[in-house]
């Protein structure tokens, strides 16, 4: 049995009772209190509280209150309109996680993280994500208000631009920020401000990846002052209870569901959904130790990239070990890096990616990432290292395959401008790195036998500070 408080009165209802009807004309709000325990978190990470929205509702407001107990309780917030609650449902209207305590949805004006548009009548559900629950449990109180009025025209998302005019889209190494947050989740600036910050930092492209929504597309549609560069890529950080992943290349308010726990085989369904939408699925901070941040799911087929450096989480050694294990198994998963930027003063360029792309278009950039033509660099001011591997008359660069015979000595030429007397680490098949000094021009030439599999490169300063990590050159049988 659960207690439900309505306008100061207390009613007792069964947990399975039908939802309470909300009168859109009533001034008094509906207040619902639910108690959750650690056992509830185990049995159902996401809890759904039903309520009714009548016809003629123009605005819905929901707020939540609970005792955070110095961070021992964290309850995420989201909402579904009438429809199924199955994985991938179209009834999803938005998510603000634990960053906000309430939201408003209307046809035009809507809280960040939520999809604007008409409010269909019927049974809605507030979603409560039990991220953390203290030992004694937590009481969550929801206050729900509706307001009648004309629905008004629905807002439309901004169609994601796929290219910058050719005159400003050179081929070559392009710098990108692949993991950024705005006010549409737990970031601190607007989507337009992210565009301006990355422009000022010299980025060629930026992906906005708010937690479990893509509603920033609606806000950008109203901003006529967006810079022509960087190229904007709409994305989502799919934030599951078993780890996080970015999906890049979404459009028109598309989203990928996140309600899959550790060990749940339906993680393959999320990856498949991303691919059907044309997105690229990339695991974020896989070795992180914060609650539900590290990757506990299987690396199922269709995962095409993973972060090996994340400026916010910092577990590079563990991420590299996971990556090398996958590479040794034969998986060609692209290593990427990001700042996971939420707010200043954290640097937005540590880490960033350099992607060798034939054009500054979304399709070209995502294609180059899939192909492994990526170098992770710690700092926008650092030059992009150049790497060429030769065997006989065959030449390969980052992401390429080099065909060799059984016993071949390869010549490796590198140039890292700015890394005067720095260090080059050559990592073959995840083994012990070979440490090579760079000269006074940041150059080195190495001749050494290579084995079938892969070889990747790390660049460091004299003091061993990591500057760059390349993706592999794959060594295949001739």
Residues 6+ apart with CB under 8 A from 12: 1, 2, 3, 4
Return the pLDDT at 228.
76
Q: Would you say 133 and 37 are in contact if contact means Cβ atoms under 8 Å apart?
A: yes
Residues 6+ apart with CB under 8 A from 406: none
- Of 215, 161, 156, whose CA–CA distance to 191 is shortest? 215
How far is Cα 440 from Cα 15, in angstroms, rounded to an integer?
A: 72
- Of 90, 89, 117, 97, whose CA–CA distance to 105 is shortest? 117
How far is Cα 360 from Cα 43, in angstroms, rounded to an integer?
A: 46
Return the pLDDT at 151.
72
How far is Cα 404 from Cα 393, in angstroms, rounded to an integer?
A: 11
Return the pLDDT at 375.
98
Bridge partners (DSSP) of residue 140 are 34
Return the pLDDT at 407.
74
Q: Would you say 387 and 381 are in contact if contact means Cβ atoms under 8 Å apart?
A: no
Return the pLDDT at 77.
98
Tell the CATH superfamily of the 166-377 domain: Metal-dependent hydrolases (3.20.20.140)
Residues 6+ apart with CB under 8 A from 323: 306, 308, 333, 335
Asked: is 2-148 a CATH 2.60.60.20 domain? The reply is: no
Residue pointed to by tokens 């399709």: 363
Task: Specify the DSSP class assigned to residue 45.
Answer: S
Domain limits of the chain?
2-148, 166-377, 386-477
Return the pLDDT at 254.
93
Residue pointed to by tokens 């085989």: 265
How far is Cα 144 from Cα 21, in angstroms, rounded to an integer?
A: 11
Q: Would you say 445 and 412 are in contact if contact means Cβ atoms under 8 Å apart?
A: yes
Tell me the fold of 386-477.
Answer: Coagulation Factor XIII; Chain A, domain 1 (2.70.50)
What's the average pLDDT block by block, 10 residues per block, for the chain (478 residues)? 35 36 59 98 97 96 97 97 97 95 91 95 98 98 94 66 57 95 97 96 97 93 74 97 98 92 97 98 97 97 98 92 97 98 97 97 97 98 98 96 90 97 96 96 96 96 96 96
- Of 366, 351, 391, whose CA–CA distance to 474 is shortest? 391
């Amino acid at each position: 049995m659960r207690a439900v408080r309505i306008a100061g009165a207390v009613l007792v209802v069964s947990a399975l009772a039908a939802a309470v009807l909300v009168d859109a004309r009533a001034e008094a709000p509906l207040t619902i209190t639910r108690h959750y325990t650690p056992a509830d978190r185990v049995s159902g990470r996401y809890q759904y509280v039903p309520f009714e929205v009548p016809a003629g509702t123009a605005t819905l407001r929901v707020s939540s209150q609970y005792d955070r107990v110095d961070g021992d309780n964290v309850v995420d917030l989201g909402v579904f309109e009438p429809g199924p609650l199955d994985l991938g449902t179209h009834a999803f209207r938005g998510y603000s996680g634990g960053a906000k305590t309430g939201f408003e949805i209307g046809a035009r004006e809507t809280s960040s993280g939520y999809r604007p548009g008409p409010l269909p009548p019927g049974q809605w559900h507030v979603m409560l994500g039990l991220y953390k629950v203290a030992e004694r449990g937590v009481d969550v109180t929801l206050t729900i208000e509706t307001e009648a009025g004309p629905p008004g025209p629905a807002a439309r998302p901004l169609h994601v631009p796929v290219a910058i005019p050719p005159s400003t889209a050179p081929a070559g190494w392009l710098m990108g920020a692949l993991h950024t947050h705005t006010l549409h989740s737990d970031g601190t600036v607007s989507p337009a401000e992210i565009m301006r910050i990355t422009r000022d930092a010299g980025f060629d492209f930026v992906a906005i990846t708010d937690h479990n929504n893509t509603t920033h597309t609606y806000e950008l549609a109203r901003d006529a002052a967006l810079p022509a560069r960087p190229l904007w890529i709409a994305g989502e950080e799919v934030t599951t209870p078993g780890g996080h992943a970015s999906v890049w290349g979404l459009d028109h308010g598309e989203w990928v569901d996140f309600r899959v726990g550790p060990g749940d085989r339906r993680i393959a369904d999320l990856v498949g959904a991303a691919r059907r939408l044309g997105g690229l699925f990339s695991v974020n901070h896989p070795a992180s130790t914060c609650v539900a941040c590290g990757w506990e799911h299987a690396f199922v087929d269709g995962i095409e990239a993973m972060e090996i450096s994340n400026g916010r989480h910092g577990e590079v050694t563990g991420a590299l070990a996971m990556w090398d294990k996958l590479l040794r198994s034969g998986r060609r998963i692209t290593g990427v890096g990001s700042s996971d930027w939420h707010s200043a003063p954290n640097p937005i360029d540590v880490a960033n990616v350099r992607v060798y792309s034939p054009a500054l278009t979304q399709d070209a950039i995502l294609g180059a990432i899939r192909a492994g033509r990526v170098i992770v660099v710690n700092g926008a001011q650092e030059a992009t290292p150049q790497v060429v591997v030769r065997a006989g008359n065959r030449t390969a660069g980052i992401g390429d395959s080099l065909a060799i015979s059984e016993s071949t000595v390869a010549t490796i030429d590198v140039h890292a401008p700015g890394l005067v007397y720095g260090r080059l680490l050559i990592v073959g098949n995840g083994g012990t790195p070979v440490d090579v000094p760079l000269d006074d021009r940041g150059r080195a030439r190495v001749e050494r036998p290579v084995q079938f599999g892969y070889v990747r490169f790390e660049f460091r300063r004299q003091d061993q500070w990591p500057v760059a990590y390349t993706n592999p050159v794959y060594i295949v049988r001739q």
